[in-house]
Each structure stands twice: as structure tokens, then as C-alpha cells.
């Protein structure tokens, strides 16, 4: 699954990962895929809630130590 856009939110804390993810999603066309990498402990739940609220689909969530990668389809 190749993302159409990737954003790196490592080192950023709430609410910055949400703002950046929202901006990136707004730039995508319907059906395109966004990959977000973050290390904020709240990022996973916050980004899942954001995707659901906006009507987008979380395709995959992976963890690597403190980092979480979330794949969202607009």
C-alpha cells in the first residue's frame, strides 16, 4: 500500500499532529492514502477519532517502539 502523501509528526505534541493531519487530508483527493508517523502518546487515539469524525478510513496502525504509524484513506 503506497501512500499518496506522508507526514512526519515525530517530536510534535497535541494538538500539532492533529492539525497537520487535517491539513494533509484536506489536500488529498477522495480515495487517496495518507501515512502519518508520530510519537505523541495521544496521537493514535486522537488520529483515529479525527479520521472517524471526518468520515475517513483507518487502514492500518503499526507500532515501532514509541512511534506509531497510521495509514488513512480519505
Which sequence positions are flagged as catalytic? 14
DSSP string, 11-33: T--TTHHHHHHHHHHHHSPTT-E
Copy the grid coordinates of residue 47.
Answer: 488520529
N-to-C CA span, the chain: 14
Amino acid at each position: 500500500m503506497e501512500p499518496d502523501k506522508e507526514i512526519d509528526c515525530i517530536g510534535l505534541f497535541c494538538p500539532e499532529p492533529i492539525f497537520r493531519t487535517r491539513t494533509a487530508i484536506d489536500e488529498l483527493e477522495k480515495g487517496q492514502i495518507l501515512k502519518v508517523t508520530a510519537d505523541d502518546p495521544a496521537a493514535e487515539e486522537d488520529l483515529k477519532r479525527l479520521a472517524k469524525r471526518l468520515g475517513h478510513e483507518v487502514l492500518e496502525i503499526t507500532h515501532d517502539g514509541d512511534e506509531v504509524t497510521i495509514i488513512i484513506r480519505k
